[in-house]
Amino acid sequence: MLLTNAHVISPGFEKENASVLIENGRIIAIGNESSGDLDLGGKLLLPGFIDIHSHGADGADVCDASVDSLEHIARTKLKEGVTTWLPTTLTQPQDRLIEVVQAISNWVDSAPLNVPGMHLEGPFINREQAGAQNPQYVRLPDINELRTLHEIFPALILSLAPEVPGGYDLIREAAAMGITPSAAHTKADYHCIMSAVGYGLKHLTHFGNAMTGLHHREIGTVGAGLLEDCLRLELIADGIHLAPEMLELIFSKVPRENIMLITDSVSSSWQPDGETTLGGLDVVIKDGIARLKSNGALAGSTLRYPLGLKLIQEITNEPLGDLVATTSWNQARSLGLVDLGKIEPGFIADLVVLNDEFEVERTFVRGQ
């Protein structure tokens, strides 16, 4: 397949009126051909988005433990331009998590997008920072439980609270298993986070949310993320989970290579206002914002992936070429996903076509 008249934007590379030749699911060449199989009409051509934190979409949840739900989420994420997805779990009982992970394993070979692993969010978090996670199922770190789940289907990220008893040991063991440890739903102070880094902590989950904030005498987990270049930050760029001013602050302080845009989308995304559930908790969607019915806490997001990138560009006024790595390349490098995240010869042809309003016109997975 030869794509023509594309405005290619990739980390470190931008070219208008470009052609992209695809063979056997890979990019073979980028050139100036004017006629080919598909004329993109000058629209934006970006690397396919990599969403490393997403629980669900359009009424379906990973924790449904259903192949049909996983397929529906994947098809919906494709409509957002997401070509690589880590199905993300919630804090649930151990037997339920086993069912959830088994469902992922049973489905993955037929998945319509790339699913190189999963993201385990919880259950080893701090109950006092549970947020929209169900505190009833929070428990202390258990390496045997982690191994059991990882053996059924590989985890690429484990989100946990490093300060809970056994947290450091679990971080060390997870890192040794090839799992990226990430701090989440945590009351850790700055020194605890930096100690955890010594054990293998690398990410901060949905940065700014359900973690210790910035204070002038204790800069907390948020301060560590702003100050320390050894940490990569997940950002929910919906203007709700993080105020626009906070997003502006993050982009003014944190190196671009340490920022990874996520959706943290739940089953409420792509849904109208109304009532639903999340991990057994009642949720109300109002004005497109999902909150727990019990206390009004944010309950995941309804963000569609390209709208996060659109908001970041509006806030920072930076060219897309400076921001596009936050949607793909940074995630790929962080998790060791080879040949993903760029539009370059030799890379897998995972691509998304956007119009000027950041609406998805086409999504390609391995050239299809």
Query: Which residue in this structure is represented by tokens 């970006």?
Result: 46
Cα separation, 198 vs 191, in Å, equals 11
Cα separation, 222 vs 204, in Å, equals 9
Cα separation, 93 vs 221, in Å, equals 27
Cβ proximity of 200 and 163 under 8 Å? no
Cα separation, 200 vs 189, in Å, equals 17
Q: Which amino acid is at 150?
A: H
What is 291-306 written as a DSSP string? EETTT--B-SB---HH
Cα separation, 68 vs 126, in Å, equals 32
- Would strands 180-183 and 203-204 be described as parallel, antiparallel, or unpaired? parallel
The answer to whether 264 is a known catalytic residue is yes
In b/e form, how buried is each residue of 344-354, taking b as 16+ CB within 10 angstroms?
A: beebbbbbbbb
Cα separation, 41 vs 326, in Å, equals 25
Helix 94-107 vs helix 143-152: crossing angle, to nearest 10: 20
Q: One of 264, 287, 322, 339 is an active-site residue; which one?
A: 264
Evaluate the CA torsion angle 67, 73, 76, 78 in order and state its sign. Answer: negative
Cα dihedral 87, 93, 96, 100 in deg (nearest 10): 10
Active-site residue list: 264
